[in-house]
Amino acid sequence: MKSFKFLYRNLDHFRNLFWICVFAAFLDGIVQFLIPILLTQFTKHELTQARFQQLAPYIVACFVFSLVFQWIIRRWGEALAYKFSDYLRLKYFEKLECLPLNVLQRHHSGYLHSLVDRIAQGGQSLLFQCIWLLAHGAATLSLFFIFTAKESVSIAGFNLLMMLFFLYVSVQFSKKMVPLAEALNFAHAKLVGRFVDLMSNVQTIQRLGVFSFANTQLSAEVKDNAHCIQLLQNFHANRWFCLHLIFGACFLLTIVYLLYLITLGSASASILILFIWAFGVVRSQIERFSELIKSLLELDAYVASLNEILQSIESDTEQVSAIASFDVISLSDIVVRYEGATQNISIPLFELRRGEKVLVTGESGQGKSTLLDVLGYLQKPQAGSVAIDGRSYRELGVAAIRSQIAIVSQEVELFDMSVRDNLVMGAEISEQSILELLIDLQLGPWFESLPDGLDTLVGEKGVKLSVGQKQRVNIARGLLLDRPVILFDEPTSHLDQNTEEAVIAVLEKWLGEKTVVFVSHRPEIGRLCGAHYRFESHSLVRCSCP
């Protein structure tokens, strides 16, 4: 199955440890099955004290070896499964981070989170199941059929056919179950997305007093999710009943046939002991194999769904140096179409030269933010070219572009981290530089009020800050990132006149020779700029004044 390839391909540096655990599980399966075999062989004759003394050391040795092998599996196998799960989450986050903005906007973040979570949890569970079942189960089943065949070839053949039939029926049931599992995943993702959305906006709900509306929205998603759960559980119950009916019939027919052979004297009673004990072990292994097949098919579906979304990611050449030393970024004949929009956004020609400060104005909804998204490689236009010194963005790569261009959005998103982490984003920046910038932005009194200084947590989405404070922290973050190109989207929209003047002075002081684009309704910021563009009727034109 595709899931086996997916698991093995993503093992990477875990591969050696994986095979050690598989080998330990295989040996444990052999050792555990030796116990009933030894009991069967010794009980074929009268069990005297001397024979018991011969048997006891073998049983103890098998028990000790089994403990050692299981300790190895639990010590390293379980840790390996958890690490593998974290690895998958990190891998898919890196891929999702490279998706164009228009692709991300088509899929709810709750759905993407649910897919990644299902794949990570499924990968963790399947990896551990593979260690136990494919190795431990293979050893157990092989010995079962070998020693059953020694007593009766017909019994071994019958059980082998029944086992294959059991697995075939299990696969057919599992294939029919996959659409139900996908529907549940989608419903669960919508529920999680709605819950997160309402929780992140709980203050808005409180301010507007719309609790009944919020409860109605959440209850509808809960109802849909519960319906999908019920459908899947009904299918699971029917699947369980049919599979156990097959297994039970196999067991009863074999027991009846064994008793018949014993009455004829063709088989010893000891084989009945072996078969009853071993059949219980084999039954659990077969049931786990059935669950493994179900999980593999589910993982196939989840991986396929996520890979379909990730198809738009381009290969990344990461030519950072070509961007750091550029002369001009040019957009020509750009056309951006949005679903449901009546008019396209057009950018016939836009040039941004190194060290230049450019102002872009226009009414709301004309395309100003879209221009920044195209420049920052968050949005791919349907037509036209975006190039740096004649080399296309596609050639240079997503990571290279985004590592050199920062967008300071008007939609301020702060992380539930410390003030310091939100400002520097992992960069090594001295506290003195941070404080100097905060004071320049008139955030000195706010900083002095923080209980833990720069290590104070800002809360989810910066809930502990006012709108104006969040906007200035956002500006500070954009400046501290120290990118060669910075794109500001309405940097002073939520500020009063005095604070706006202070922020403009800070931008003039801190931007220096950086290349900057300002999108703004405020004409005051135009004094920093040497070139002006304006959107008119969703088309960008160059003009002589803001």
| pLDDT value for 44 | 64
Per-residue pLDDT band at 56 (split at 50, 70, 90)? confident
| pLDDT value for 531 | 92
Q: Could you give the CA distance from residue 425 to residue 443 in angstroms, rounded to a whole number?
A: 19
Greatest mean pLDDT among 37-46, 180-189, 205-214, 447-456 lies in: 447-456
The pLDDT of residue 497 is above 80: yes
CB 393 within 8 A of CB 326: no
Using one digit for the tens of pLDDT, what is the confidence trace for 383-407?
Answer: 999 999 888 888 888 878 888 888 8
Question: CB-based burial of residue 452 (10 Å sphere; 0-12 exposed, 13-18 middle, 19+ buried)?
Answer: exposed
Question: CB-based burial of residue 484 (10 Å sphere; 0-12 exposed, 13-18 middle, 19+ buried)?
Answer: middle
Per-residue pLDDT band at 319 (split at 50, 70, 90)? low
The pLDDT of residue 482 is above 70: yes
Cβ-based neighbour number of residue 445 at 10 Å: 8
One fold for 2-310 and 320-543? no
Q: Could you give the CA distance from residue 499 to residue 35 in angstroms, rounded to a whole number?
A: 82
- Overall average pLDDT of the 365-381 stretch: 89
- What one-character-per-residue DSSP string does 255-309 give? HHHHHHHHHHTSS-HHHHHHHHHHHHHHHHHHHHHHHHHHHHHHHHHHHHHHHHH
| pLDDT value for 222 | 92
Per-residue pLDDT band at 329 (split at 50, 70, 90)? very high
Higher pLDDT, 140 or 348: 348
Using one digit for the tens of pLDDT, what is the confidence trace for 406-416?
Answer: 889 888 878 88
Question: CB-based burial of residue 5 (10 Å sphere; 0-12 exposed, 13-18 middle, 19+ buried)?
Answer: exposed
pLDDT over 90, % of the chain:
12
**Residue 166: closest CA among 245, 237, 275:** 245
Q: Could you give the CA distance from residue 497 to residue 523 in angstroms, rounded to a whole number?
A: 12
| pLDDT value for 18 | 86
Q: What is the CATH number of domain 320-543?
A: 3.40.50.300
The pLDDT of residue 332 is above 90: yes
Using one digit for the tens of pLDDT, what is the confidence trace for 205-219?
Answer: 776 777 888 888 889
Instruction: Report residue 521 CA to chain centroid gap.
Output: 39
Using one digit for the tens of pLDDT, what is the confidence trace for 424-439?
Answer: 888 888 889 999 999 9
- What are the domain boundaries of the chain? 2-310, 320-543
Domain at 2-310, CATH class? mainly alpha
Using one digit for the tens of pLDDT, what is the confidence trace for 87-102?
Answer: 899 888 888 877 777 6
Mean pLDDT estimate for the chain: 83
